[in-house]
Amino acid sequence: MTKIRVALCQVNTVVGDLAGNTERIIDAVTRAEEFEADVVAFPELSITGYPPEDLLLKPGFVQDNLYFLEQVAAAVNSCAVVVGFVDSPREERSTPLSKGSRQPIYNAAAVCSKGEVVGVYHKRLLPNYGVFDEKRYFAQGKGLYTLYKLEGSLVGISICEDLWFPNGPVLAQAKGGASLVININASPYSVGRLADRLAVLRERVQEANCHIAYVNQVGGQDELVFDGGSMVVSPSGDILGISPQFEEDMLVVDLHLEGGSANGHLDASAVHLVDLGASTRGTKEPILRGIAPSDRGIVPSLSREEEIYKALVLGTKDYVRKNGFKDVVIGLSGGIDSSLVATIATDALGAQHVHGVAMPSRYSSQGSITDAQILVKNLGIDLHIIPIESVHQMFADVLAPVLGNAPTGLTDENLQSRIRGIILMALSNANGWLVLTTGNKSELATGYSTLYGDSVGGFGVIKDVLKTVVYSLCRYRNSKDGREIIPESILLKPPSAELREGQIDEQSLPPYDLLDPVLQGYVEQDHTAIELVELGFDSNLVHEVVHLVDSAEYKRRQMPPGVRITMKAFGKDRRMPITNLYKERAQLHTYGKVENK
């Protein structure tokens, strides 16, 4: 039996920051060697950051990443290191290309030992769904699997999607004799994703009868948030150690490995062996960082609200900081959405970096102004009050000769919202503050927003959060502090844009507790209107919601990016055509009866 000390480093990388990512990796390798780790693993494409998207189309970017891989390898002394990078094999670089083609590149993992790259694994299964576009960039890995001999045990390498399917690379490596497979990942967060990963890991270890060390990226990248949750799972399905979600961490676990796996059916002809030499372990003191042995079968999970809230905080913090901003500005209406965004921003960036702006009009209630003032006092952020009445009247005077009278109805409502957008962008330009938008997923889905008004900004913190979830997150945040951060008066009053006298959201939309389940079914689960009615939703409600969603696609395309927390967010996930005349039969009921044939 072999004793191997594994260190899993869930680091927060930045796409394109090759030098910075390499420095983070080398620093972590140094710390892992201080822990006397035998093998250290980093996330998928950790040198380039994930996802690098069309940077991969630049040959210079690929070559630069190979240079920095050499720097990582040169820094490795007493351990083996598994690190993600983009590979462009020399033999394939020399192959003549047909017109319009380019050299194949691979999503790869390098194994570094004693200052050199001693082996490379190319990802076999390339995801091409949801937010993943890997077949656009990468060639598929093929050929023999390489196993790495460490003391008396064999270790296999795989990358992310390779783990998710039965009879795949993990089983093949186990049949070749691997008693440990290291799986490096950049698996984006969505609600409940940690439990999904654990279920798959338990399927794979049961199938392959080997240990799996799963290391995942952490941090925000544009719309995506990576939550970490790296873990080591035994052949029996026990969790031997797990890292926290939404934090950088190094998980160090001692494993006792036996040679031969997959129920003893070894297929040594299917693998190539690389001997990493004798382990430097010696008689090190035992170490286990993670959960206690008595809790190994249980994931120390966060509540649904805490998980979502942490994702929003991390996604906001990293978007702002990684894009070079220090401060943000938020239009505070005294409503629940802007209150939640301000609270998230304060937790992400610190109160001194968050600036609130209240822009009351003739339709703003005194209660809304008071609520905003209470909120900023609770958060410790500053508040600028800029009334828009004089500007509103000026626009009305300018437009009246062209319109024939002062703006009314929707024109006047949207005018107020756009005035506020202009003010926020002026503050952004003058002070270098990033504008955070406050629209939620229910509003974006139904088009209940104003282009160039409340949609103005650089980042949409809650753009993937349904309105009903906004309420639950506010209550979670208050309960976390044991006091009202977000005033109860904000939680209790009917939602309103306050753009006309007596306005409330339910005059334009179905009640949110009825609306949101339909949106989940239509947007997130891709049900048709017919299917939703068959599932028990009211037919008139379904047809109204479907019409609103389909009509608002052109608006959503112009919205800023924002944190993704579901498996079907607007943006990278859901890509509906704007010009789209498809109407399923159920939708046609709006225009006349359709007979079933």
Catalytic residues: 44, 123, 160
Q: What does the alpha-carbon distance between residue 575 and residue 557 come to, in Å, rounded to a whole number? A: 9
The total number of residues shown for the chain amounts to 597
Give the Å distances, CA to CA, from 393 to 20, 37, 295, 402. Answer: 52, 69, 65, 15
Q: Could you give the 3-state DSSP secondary structure of residue 134?
A: helix
User: Are 210 and 36 within 8 A, CB to CB?
Assistant: no
| Cβ-Cβ contacts under 8 Å for 86 (sequence gap 6 or more) | 45, 47, 48, 52, 56, 62, 65, 66, 105, 106, 107, 108
Beta strand 116-122 pairing with 382-385: unpaired
CA-to-CA dists, residue 330 to 38, 222, 311, 318, 457, angstroms: 49, 19, 19, 17, 9
In angstroms, the CA 238 to CA 462 distance is 36
Task: Region of 55 please: left (phi>0), alpha (psi -120 to 50) or beta.
Answer: alpha
Rounded (10°) angle between helices 366-379 and 336-349? 20
Our measurement of the distance from residue 161's CA atom to the centroid of its chain's CA atoms, rounded to an integer in Å, reads 16
Residue among 45, 196, 205 nearest 134 (CA): 45
What's CA 554's distance to the chain center, in Å? 24
DSSP 13-62: --TT-HHHHHHHHHHHHHHHHHTT-SEEE--TTTTT-S--GGGGG-HHHH
Kindly give, in sequence order, each residue whose CB lies less than 8 Å from that of residue 515, ignoring residues fewer than 6 positions away.
442, 446, 467, 509, 545
Give the C-alpha separation, 84 to 152, whole Å.
Answer: 25
